[in-house]
Structure 1
Amino acid sequence: MKWMHLLPLLRRLYPSTIRMRLTLLATVIAVLPLAAAATGTALAVRSSILEGAQQRSAEPGPWWRVEVKGDRATYDRERISRCGSTSPPAPGDQRISFCMKPYDLSSSGAPGPSGHDAMYDALSHQGALSLGPWTPSAPIQRPNAYPQFPGYVVLTYSLEAEQAQLDTVVWSLAGGTLALVGLIAGSTWFAVGRVLRPVEAIRAEFAELSAHHLDRRVPVPRAGNEIARLATTMNTTLNRLQAAVGRQRQFTTDASHELRTPLACLRTELELALNRPDAADWPRVVHAAHQDTMRVQELTEDLLLLARLDAEQGDRQPRRTVDLTDVVREETVRRRPPHGIGIDLRTGPGPVAVQGHPALLARVIGNLLDNAERYATGTITVRLTHDPHHGTAVVDVLDDGPGIPPEDHRRIFERFTRLDDARTQDTGGVGLGLAIAQRIAAVHRGTLEIVPSARGAHFSLRLPTHLP
C-alpha cells in the first residue's frame, strides 16, 4: 500500500518515553475542552457583536437625510452613486454608505418593490463576522424603495470595527488557551518527571546488580504508592533470587561433596586391596565397591532427573491416561519394607484416571514410601481417594515415626535437605527424594504438601483428574 512507507517515519515520531507520552496525552486532553470552550465563547461574542451592529444599522436616522427627486437620490445633498462604483462614506458616520440600484425592468413590467422581491432579497444582507482574524467581514445591506423612484437605495453598514473587536477577542482566547495548554503540558512534564524519578533510581540500581552483588536492593519511595509497591515487589523477588542463587551454589557444593565421597571411598578400598592383593578379602571389596557404585549411580540419576524436570522436559514428552490406582498398587506391592513395618494400602474399587507419565508418577509414590520406610516404627498407611468436587486424585502417605517439626515443613522439600543431624547413610538418604517428588507433582500440574499430623509425617499428593 502507498502509506506503508510512512510507517518508519510514524514510528520515529511516536514518543519514546512514558514521560513524553503522558505529557502529550494530557496536552491533547486539555486542548479539546479548552478549544471547545474558547470556540463557544467566540461564537457567543460574535453573535452579540453582530446583533448590536444589526440594531444600529436598522436605526431610521440616516434614512431621514435621504432625498429622492425623479431619478436622483441624495444624502445630505451629496449625490448617491450607483451600487458597484466607489461610494464615499456618509458624512458623520464612517461606517455608513449609500448606493443606488436601478430596477431590472427586463424581468418584470411592474415597477417598485412589489415586482422586484427577488431583487430586494438579493440586495438585503444581515452581515457576517469571521472568527478567523485573517478573513474580512461582510457588511450589512438594507435596501429601501421610494415611490416613483426607479430603483432601490441601499444602505451599507461596514462591520470592520466590529470585526476588529471580534479579532481582539479571538486572539485573546487563542492566547489564553495556548497559555493554559502550555501550563498544563509543563506541569504534567514536571509532575511525571517527579513521579518517575524513583523509577529511574530503581532502574539505575537494578542495572548495577549482578550475580556477585545480589545483596543490593532497589530504593523504596516513602510515598507508599504503586511505585513503592513495585520496588517492594522487586526487592522481594531479589530476595528470592538471592536465595535461589544461594541454593544453587549450595546445591553445587553438596553435589560435588556427595559425588566425591563415594568415589573417594571406592578408590580407597580398591587401592588398599591392590596394595596387598594376597591379603585382600576380594568378595567384600567387590561388594563394597558395588555399593559405592550404586550410590554414585543413584545420585547421578537423581541429579539428571532434577535437571530434566527443572528444564520442564516432561511437558514435551508424550502424555497418556494413567490409572493412578494401578500405579499406587504396583509400587506398594513391590516394596520390601524393613522387618516389623507393614504397609496398609487403601484404595477405592474403581480406577482413578490422570494424565501423565507412569514412570514419573511411580517415582513420586516410591520416593514417598522410601521416606516413610526410613522413619516409620510400625505402620505405613497409603490412601488413594478421588475428590470429584475439585476434580483431583489424592494420595496420602502416612507413617508413625517421629514426624517433622512445623518449622521444617517448607525446608523438607529443598534439595539435599536431611533432618537427621548425623546425616548417616543408614537413616538418611542424599536429600533429593522429596525435592524430586514435589517437582514431578508440579510438572503434572499437581501439588505435594506435608499435612500437620498428631503423629508421624503425613504427605498429601494431589493431581488433577481432568487436564485441559
Structure 2
Amino acid sequence: MRLTLLAAVIAAVPLAAAATGTALAARASILQDGQRRSADPEHWLRIEVKRDQATNNRKRIPQCRSTSHTPQGHPRISFCRKPYDLSSSQPGPSGRDAMYDALSNQGALSLAPWAPPAPIQRPNAYFEFPGYVVLVYSLEAEQAQLNTIVWSLAGGTLALITLIAGSTWFAVGRALRPVEAIRAEFAELSAHHLDRRVPVPRAGNEIARLATTMNTTLNRLQTAVDRQRQFTADASHELRTPLACLRTELELALNRPDAADWPQVVHAAHEDTIRVQELTEDLLLLARLDAEHGDRQPRRTVDLTDVVREETVRRRPPNGIDIDLHTGPGPVAVQGHPALLARVIGNLLDNAERYATSTIAVRLTHDTHHGVAVIGVFDDGPGIPTEDHQRIFERFTRLDDARAQDTGGAGLGLAIAQRIATAHRGTLEITPSARGAHFALRLPARLP
C-alpha cells in the first residue's frame, strides 16, 4: 500500500503541474482570441456610426469598467482601460485594423472580468457617454470553453493518477505474491516437518533465486537434523547394552561382596568400559565425517604405501591367520589425512580378521593412466551375498548368515570406512569373488 501511495504522489505532482500549465496556456489563448474578435466588422461599424454622429471633438475611451447583460442575464465584459483618440481612426476594415492595433499597442484593449454593482438591463453591445464611445464584448462562450478544458484536464489527471495507482497496486501485488507464498510455506516449517520446501516461481528472477537458496538451506538444515537424530539413535541403541552389562555386573558384586570375584569383576568392567569408549569414539567420528564431509580435515601428501605397510605390520592376527601383503615398487602419493587413511585400512583388516579362516591378502596397485590407487583386502571366509553388498555398509548392520557370528563388533567399522573413503573423494565397495569377501578401496593418486 505504501508503494502504491508513493507512486500516486510521484505521478500526481508532474501531472498536476502539466494540467495547470495547460489550463493557463488555454486561458491566455482563449482570451487573446476574444480580444481579436471584439474588433470584428460588426462592432467596428457601431463605433463608426457613433463617431460620425458626434461632433468633431476628440473621442476617447477612458479608464473605466462598463458592462451589460445578455438577454439570458449573463454579464458582458468591457474593454476600456486607457484613453484613446478615436478621431484618427478611419472607417472600413483598414480603420478597424488601425484601431485594434492602436488599442493593443497601448494596452487599452484588455479582458477584465467584472461583476457590476447592479444588474444592467440594457442589452446593447455598447454604451454612449458624453464624448465617448465604449465597446463591450461578452466572454460567455470563451468562459464555457475554458471551464470545459479545466474540468477535462482535472478529470483526465485524476483518472490517470487512479490508473497509475491501480496499475502499481496490481503489479506490486503480483510481484509480491510469490513472496507471500514463500512466507506462508516457511511459517509452516517445524522441527518435525523439515521435508517441506518453499515454492519456486517459474520466472527466473531474484525471487526465484531467493526461493532456490532457501530450499538449499533447508536441505542442509534437514541433513544436519537427520544426522543429529541418527547420532542420538545410534548412541542410545549401542550404548545401552554395554552400560547395562556394566551396571549389572557391578550391582551383582555389590549385593554379594563376599562371594564376588573382584578381580574378575574389575576386569569385566574394564572391558565394558573400553567397549563403550571405542563405540563412543566411532559414533563421534561418524558424526564429524557426516557434518564436515572431510572438507575441514587437514590434508597433505601421504605415501599410501607406507600407511598400508605400517597398519599391516603392527597387526597381530589370531592364531592360524596369515596376512599376505603386496605393494608396488615405489611410493603412491595421495592427498588426505594420515590418521583417517590408517583408520579405513585398519577397519578393513579388522573385518577380514573376524571372518577369515586362514589367509588375509592385501594388495596395493597404482593405475597411473587413470590416476587411481586401489587397495584390495581379501579374506577366505564365508563371503557376503550379492543382495547384501550395499547393506553391509549401513550402520549397525549384522548379516544373518555365517558372517553374523558374535565377533564383538558393533557394526560401525565398514560404515566408518566408507565415509572416510567418500571424504577423500574415493570409493569403497565389494567386488565379486570366488571365495570369501573382497573389499576394494579406490583413492585419487598421483606419482610423487
Contact 1:306/1:436 (8 A) holds in 2: yes
Corresponding position: 1:175 with 2:158: yes
Aligned CA distance change for structure 1 residues 38 and 28 (closer, same or farther; 3 Å): same
Q: Tell me which of 247, 254, 268 is aligned to 2:230.
A: 247
* Residue 136 of structure 2 corresponds to residue 152 of structure 1: no
1:360–1:242 CA distance, 2 compared to 1 (3 A):
closer
1:275 equivalent among 236, 245, 259: 259
Residues in 1 aligned to 2:363 and 2:173: alpha-carbon distance in whole angstroms: 66
Q: CA–CA distance in 1 between the matches of 2:225 and 2:294?
A: 27
Paired residue type of 1:255: E
Q: Cα distance, 1:362 vs. partner?
A: 1.6
> Distance in 2 between the 1:58 and 1:305 partners?
101
- How far residue 244 of structure 1 moved from its aligned partner, in angstroms, is 4.8
Q: Report the AA paired with residue 298 of structure 1.
A: E
Deviation at 1:276, TM superposition (A): 7.6
Partner of 1:367: 347
Percent of aligned pairs with the same amino acid = 33
Query: Match of 1:299?
Result: 279
SS at match of 1:416: coil
In the alignment, the residues of structure 1 paired with residue 143 and residue 232 of structure 2 have an alpha-carbon distance, to the nearest angstrom, of 87
Q: Go from structure 1 to structure 2 and tell me whether the alpha carbon gap of 1:447 and 1:321 turns closer, same or farther (over 3 Å shift).
A: closer
Structure with the bigger RCO (C-alpha within 8 Å, sep 6+) is: 2
Partner residue, 1:352? 333
Larger radius of gyration: 2
Q: Matched residue pairs, number? A: 375
The answer on whether the counterparts of 2:4 and 2:169 sit within 8 Å (CA) in structure 1 is no
Q: CA deviation at 1:171?
A: 2.1
Write out aligned runs for 1:163-202 (5 A). Answer: 164-184=147-167, 187=170, 202=185
1:334 aligns with 2:334: no
Q: For residue 424 of structure 1, what is the aligned residue in structure 2? A: 405
Aligned-partner SS, 1:399: strand
1:399 aligns with 2:378: yes
Look up the match of 1:453: 431
Q: What TM-score comes out, normalization by structure 2 length? A: 0.56
Following superposition, the deviation at residue 361 of structure 1 comes to 2.7
TM-score (norm 1): 0.54
Q: How far, CA to CA, are the matches of 2:237 and 2:351 in structure 1?
A: 20
- 2:215 and 2:287 map into 1 onto residues whose CA distance is 31
- Following superposition, the deviation at residue 61 of structure 1 comes to 5.8
1:43-97 per-position Cα deviation (integer Å, ceiling 9, x unaligned):
9976995797388358566254466999xxxxxx99534xxx6655799895783
- Report deviation, 1:366: 1.6
2:288, 2:213 → 1: CA distance? 33
Q: 1:62: which partner in 2?
A: 39
**Unaligned stretches of 5+ in structure 1?**
1-22, 71-76, 103-142
Mapped to 1, the partners of 2:365 and 2:27 lie a distance apart of 92
The alpha-carbon distance between structure 1 residues 224 and 373, as it changes in their structure 2 partners (threshold 3 A), is farther
Choose which of 61, 69, 75 in structure 2 pairs with 1:80: 61
Query: Cα RMSD (Å) of the superposition?
Result: 6.0
- C-alpha displacement of 1:434: 3.0
Q: CA deviation at 1:168?
A: 1.5
Structure 2: where are the runs of 5+ without partners?
52-57, 85-98, 113-141
Q: CA deviation at 1:196?
A: 6.7
Decide whether aligned partners of structure 1 residues 174 and 359 sit closer, same or farther in structure 2, where only a CA change above 3 A counts: same
Deviations 1:396-416 (A, max 9, x none): 44536634645662x544433
d(CA) in 2 for partners of 1:59 and 1:229? 72
Distance 1:59-1:360 versus aligned 2 partners, 3 A rule? same
Distance of aligned partners of 1:224 and 1:433 in 2 relative to their CA distance in 1, 3 Å threshold? same
Shift of 1:315: 7.6
